[in-house]
Amino acid sequence: MLEVHLKPADYKSDVEPTWCSGCGDFGVVAALTRAYSELGLKPENIVSVSGIGCSSRLPLFVKNYSVHSLHGRAIPVAVGIKLARPDLTVIVETGDGDLFSIGAGHNPHAARRNIDITVICMDNQVYGLTKNQVSPTSREGLYGSLTPYGSIDRPVNPIATMLSYGATFVAQTYAGNLKHMTEVIKQAIQHKGFSFVNVISPCPTFNKVDTFQYYKGKVKDINEQGHDPSDYRKALELAFHDLDHYHDPNAPVPIGVFYKAELETYEDRMQSVKRRYKQVEDVQELIDMCKPKAL
Ligand SMILES: Cc1ncc(C[n+]2csc(CCOP(=O)(O)OP(=O)(O)O)c2C)c(N)n1
Ligand code: SF4
């Protein structure tokens, strides 16, 4: 049931984006506001949380509650909000540097605990805000302001990483395909549990290799090709092919929902602990409860 009937434009704030013209992140605002509108979400029931980066400015441009937090710290802030107010839709809007570099210690635990938040990573394979340093998802050889001989690091594979951490919804989409992005973001928001969406969102200013031109024609929808998102092993296999195009110019770039599973969320499990909770009469009883014991 829709909470409200609003147009995508009604979810845009009156702050004009400061992004460079042609930045992929404009497409993400368009998809996100469409998704809100199609899901009929009330703006006051949504909280956007970001870290620091060009992508992390996104919450300024949408009309909902938002926290523009510290570099790499969006996930813990979002988790705190969700645990305090499970009724709200909590969305992390982040970049590949923010999420997989300085913030990388937080992803595994939010994912394995299946905390019911949605993480949207705008992956431009570079640090944009700080003007062209290589990021964890940059391809080998990419030139940056601190790597005049090209990056000598092997890139992180966001999809395989989040699958192995135990995220219960893992998808990839592309900023050049508004329809696909909207559909995937909608599914991610509706998913009960930790959802991760990697958006290939080119930075035309600093990344002159991984451009819209480069991805156009390479992205292939794995669900249209028959991939069943309940198949975890197949999802991992497809994820391992995600970066093949770095070495093979003919390799496709898979987009779509890789994996989706309905499992108990952290919030559900907290409720079950609360049901087992009993008043303890003295401290010794509590100490005894915490002693090592068999399951
Ligand atoms: C503690 C700390 N370290 C470093 C920085 C500098 N810094 C700001 S944004 C950023 C990288 C952002 O990269 P990404 O998340 O990929 O965002 P983009 O700008 O590419 O969208 C860095 C290193 C900072 N703001 N705070
Ligand atoms: S520097 Fe790149 S990521 Fe940042 S706003 Fe410009 S195009 Fe977008």
- Which atom, in ligand 1's list, is nearest to the CA of 71? 26
Residue 202 Cα to ligand 2 middle (Å): 8
pLDDT digit string, tens, across residues 15-37: 999 999 999 999 999 999 999 99
| Domain at 8-265, CATH class | alpha beta
- Supply the pLDDT for residue 1: 66
Residue 41 in tokens: 């979400």
- Cα dihedral across residues 32, 264, 161, 127: positive or negative: positive
Could you tell me the strand order of the sheet in which 65-68 lies? 65-68, 46-50, 89-95, 118-123, 195-200, 169-174, 253-260, 219-221
Proximal ligand: closest to the CA of 123: 1
Joined together, the tokens standing for residue 25 give 């992140």
Probe residue for ligand 2, chosen from 96, 203, 212 as the CB with the greatest number of ligand atoms within 8 Å: 203
Domain ranges of the chain: 8-265
The predicted-structure confidence for 99-111, as pLDDT tens digits, reads as follows: 999 999 999 999 9
pLDDT at position 140 over 90: yes
Pocket of ligand 2 (CB under 6 A): 19-20, 23, 25, 54, 124, 128, 203-206
Of the listed ligands, the closest to the CA of 56 is 1
The pick from 70, 98, 210 for probing ligand 1's pocket by mutation, whose C-beta has the most ligand atoms within 8 angstroms, reads 98
Helix axis angle for 25-39 and 178-190, nearest 10°, is 50
